[in-house]
Structure 1
């Protein structure tokens, strides 16, 4: 029983360390910390308009599957926010259904293959809870990347509109209609919120909280400060666009310089698990000794711990915060 507990604890430690290592520094969180003081002083948040409340109540109906998922899944509010950040029409109910399927199907397959029940449950839970999370993270990262790439162009379009004499609200409407992709979608959302009674500061701050990118936080704070202190907004936004372009170039340079080390870490870290899985499906009886022989259990747990330490160190060496 003790070797089994040791193996389970080692696997849990490996997963925890890998998640902590490869997640890297949270740029959005760091930017939020740096901007919190400034945002609190200049946000000027007001309560939502009555018409917005009525629209929200009218569209707040949920399906039975969504209601069940909201009750069973942990932290449903954060999950809804993450699903909205993907830009896909995914619901919490669909997310919960996929998670349940990814837990049940691999469990049955592993039990039919002869795996111990505790191993089948552990691997299925890791797959069912991890794979949807990483898929959502992938789509969020891709959408945020597209947004960040085109955001300086949108700011320059704002600058040209301001210099031509248009007010900031009208210029944002023009940007939402002229720019494609996530940037246009977000600016159209800001424009729609202002049409139903929200102020510009509140609409921008809600979008910034949903996107979670430092670039849009800088934009929101810039406009909020200018509305209170005055000044040349067009010139300020032009400087901001230049800073964001240089920031993006620095990110790409660091990504290119660290890509070889990241690829090496992924290949070296995943190869033993791939070989183990292939040999297990080719010769099941041979690999089952790892779950029966106590000496092999201890050796496998030790190998997992050392591999996780190596992956953790390599990941931290190539993670940079800008």
Structure 2
């Protein structure tokens, strides 16, 4: 067919296509994340109009704070795919909330998909691996990289919460001793202490204002952040509400226990730092030596891959390597 569109694509065209697909995907991601859906834009315009006419002191965030989110992203097709393809979405949604992220589950899945698509396009363009390995690598990247990033954010947020929570309890104790009720003391602490302690305590007081019981709001917050220190606080308030007693004295003792507990964790971290450093060095030695041997004499290490006994020895080495890492991890891991 002369002068028509070619029915087959050449190698150069395929390479440009692999570059264009991730670029187009990132553009779509940018539009979805920062452009907003038409429903959200229309809702915000209505809130702004009401705020200007009826409630000048009310911010849009406060106006929509009690509105229930009926959908995930405003994109019906994407929300339907998330509901049908994501296993146990409530756990993933709780994990995102524990990390302090305000993104929806649909956008999280979309980001994961685009990360995998970008990884696949780069591997195919650079011609580093065969297509099957590129697909498996892209799939692993799409699943593991967002999971690891969210896990890191959850751990960082929990550490910050534990560091500032005793200060919040001290503020509650001073409020109780001055005659304030516990709900008002929690509200005052939420307004004074930095996030994430402040925002979680504000969530508790907002739930109480909307009609929830105090212990129910505390247990809901406890499930979201999943920290033993806050569980102690919740149990102390729940027991005191049933049995009575001096709540100020109880919380004062709890604050002292939490500070001693954190000091003990820091001491254990300092004492086990040498063992952790040794584990990192020993664990990285096989990989460092393999790279050095490959750079110095590639033919010497090629026999490990082409000899029939090589894969068996590599598998045996990785098995013993994993067992050693597990033993060292158990040696430096302490539960308090």
Q: Distance in 2 between matches of 1:258 and 1:102?
A: 36
Alignment size in residue pairs: 269
1:16-31 superposed matches below 5 A: none
Query: Whose helix proportion is higher, 1 or 2?
Result: 1
CA 1:279–1:210: 2 relative to 1, 3 Å: farther
The answer for unaligned runs of 5 or more in structure 2 is 1-64
CA 1:78–1:311: 2 relative to 1, 3 Å: same
The answer for unaligned runs of 5 or more in structure 1 is 1-54
Q: 1:263 aligns with which of 277, 292, 306?
A: 277
Larger Rg: 2
SS in 2 for 1:157: helix
CA 1:57–1:288: 2 relative to 1, 3 Å: farther
Corresponding residue for 1:37?
Answer: none
Corresponding residue for 2:70?
Answer: 60
Aligned: 1:214 with 2:228: yes
TM-score, normalized by length of structure 1? 0.74
Cα deviation, residue 311, structure 1 = 0.8
CA 1:312–1:199: 2 relative to 1, 3 Å: same
Kept in 1, the 8 Å contact 2:72–2:106? The answer is no
Corresponding residue for 1:155?
Answer: 169
Taking only aligned residues, the RMSD between alpha carbons, in angstroms, comes to 2.9
Deviations 1:217-259 (A, max 9, x none): 1101100110110100000110011111111111111111112
TM-score, normalized by length of structure 2? 0.72
Deviations 1:38-90 (A, max 9, x none): xxxxxxxxxxxxxxxxx877422222334423432222111100000111222
Aligned: 1:178 with 2:178: no
| Higher relative contact order (Cα pairs below 8 Å, separated by 6+ residues) | 1
Corresponding residue for 2:27?
Answer: none
Answer with 270-279 or 74-83: which moved more. Answer: 270-279
Kept in 2, the 8 Å contact 1:103–1:128? The answer is yes
SS in 1 for 2:272: helix
Aligned: 1:113 with 2:127: yes
Corresponding residue for 1:16?
Answer: none
Q: Distance in 1 between matches of 2:68 and 2:257?
A: 42
1:194-233 superposed matches below 5 A: 194-233=208-247
